[in-house]
Structure 1
Amino acid sequence: MSRILIASDAWRPQINGVVRTLERLVRHLPEFGAEAIMLTPEGFPTVPCPTYPEIRLTVAVPGSIARRIEEVDPDHVHIATEGPIGFAVRRWCLRHGRIFTTSYHTRFPEYLAARIPVPVEWTYGFLRDFHNSGAGCMVATRSLQQELAARGFHHLMSWSRGVDAELFRPDRNRDVLDLPRPIYLYVGRVAVEKNIEAFLGLDLPGSKVVVGDGPALEMLKRDYPDATFLGSKVGEELADIYAASDCFVFPSRTDTFGVVMLEAMASGLPVAAFPVTGPLDVVGDTGAGVLDEDLRAAAIAALDIPRERCRAVALRNSWQAATRQFLDNISGVYQLSSVA
């Protein structure tokens, strides 16, 4: 069984798309004869990330990272994030001449610019150097791949996402939300870059529900007292909330994919979103949602979409297929290396 070291600064107890994706990858790799060994903040001292204390940044000297890698003796190294662990593992790979791949999960340039006045081009240049030093950079959607290529990123490869269709399904307890209908739902991190105000500020009939935690939670609770904030939910409880809602509103303009949209559609929820990267790739013209610059119009129109259509679209995406794609990318890197 091949051993793949996956280095990630994002890991439990964080709840986000990166962690969910990596958890699924770890679960399904053995089905294809591979084993994931995670190198994460676990076991290292950490400090809170400025402006986002829920995220902990690892404090580790390069020697301790090197020892971890050498103890594992992996067949391949994949770097999932551009944080302290990611940079330390990249440095080790370059120093030892080891082939490695990376993945681009998060629009850090836009997220950083939303908090402090740093030009996005500076951050993109920094990230471009990081990813271009590897043998390949895995990207979740075609539109993001095109965007990064235009910014000078090289060796881009597709790595899509999946959904747990057994957990997220329409035939669950629809009575868990005792609220006026229709119920419009948002699930995700509660942070400025998620543009949640664009959802909560809409004049919509029924109820608005927010599931998630983050640095903007208290501010949004104060500014939108009519909305229902349920905090972080996972597993069966989260699946019940999806199934109990009527429309999933995804107001982000900066997400690279949006696994929550697949979870919503698998639960029978139509999606309302802006026509931007992420929704264009996940929903597009499938008929499982409405994409419009008028988010209110999209949310209201989405209510007419049959729940069975939404689920049928979601079922086109499986974690097994995403895992196979991840491994094919790695195999392709070594095939190109042997030819060179």
Structure 2
Amino acid sequence: MPSLKPTFSLNLGSLQSTTDNPVAGPQQLVIDRDMDIPADALTLHLLERSGVALGDRVSVKLGHDGNEETAFTGEVIRLRPTLTGVKIQAVGTMQALLNLHTAATFEQKTAGSIAQDLIQQAGLSAGTVDTGPTLPRYTIDSFTSAFWHLKRLADRLGYELYSDREGTIQFRGLGAAANLDAAGVGGLLGAVTAAASGLLGGAGEGYVFGQHLLAGTVWQQQAARQEITIGGESPMSGQGDTTAHWLTTQDTDYQGSAGTGSPSQLILDPVARTRDLADRFALGQLAVINRQVHQVQITVLGRPQVDLGNSISTSNVPDALLNGSRLHSRHPASLFGAKGVCHRPESCARR
């Protein structure tokens, strides 16, 4: 059986470089994409700058034998020329949300519509944006970037905020948070059951020990918190989002909680203006904490089409802790040499 030949295509401003025509002499190309890091990153070494400038748009495709997939979309943010070449660093489209500082007040808007508004203000394209619950009032200020406001909202809901390979922004529930909104207002018991099932989202790929895996490592640890309690700042209603909102003198009557056991944590959140929202935020925060409980890192050859948010599975590994289905959350990819002699993506997945 013939071996696969790794290939690449690089568009950087007016520069176009490919495996067959390696203009500017690409020597090393490393892409880091991670749900837990705000923006995707590209580090590129060229033998010459060839007119590349700050702010140039960048797209990278990786694959084999000319069958390539987009692996990175962004723009140049740093140049470091030397006598022997140039080191170029680029970041993904999320940079626009990191640079956006704006102030706004939203009333009776869903979490998804708030996300759509901020993504549009940043001049970006939205991918999958889950609707989420309706927030009676949500305020953002210009002291903090739009990204951090949106990330804080995502964490409340247990959502993931990230950009895909094409640079579109995703704001969605995945893994244990995929079904937290399915039950609707007042029906969070069903959502708890759905979350406990650990259903994953997105497309999936399977890797078998002895066939695909070059390396594999698993981490298991106890959750930092077993129980989360959310207390609003003068919550207004215990009867749902559609009722009239009145201030209460007994805040504890409107606290929400998720999980059981110790250690526990109390979070005071002024956005939790109703009992239903407090319950929903507690479930979301617990989902965020539990993301780190079980993680698997694998190394495979040449799978640039795998994207953040996909579900991946491993099987037939001697240690059962390395087997099972998980959510893809990290995807470093590398290509060394102008002729693409090595293409080894490394994936990190979590439940």
TM range (shorter): under 0.3
Greater share of helix residues, 1 or 2? 1
Greater share of strand residues, 1 or 2? 2
Whose relative contact order is higher, 1 or 2, with alpha carbons under 8 Å and at least 6 apart? 2
TM-score (normalised: structure 1): 0.26
TM-score (normalised: structure 2): 0.25
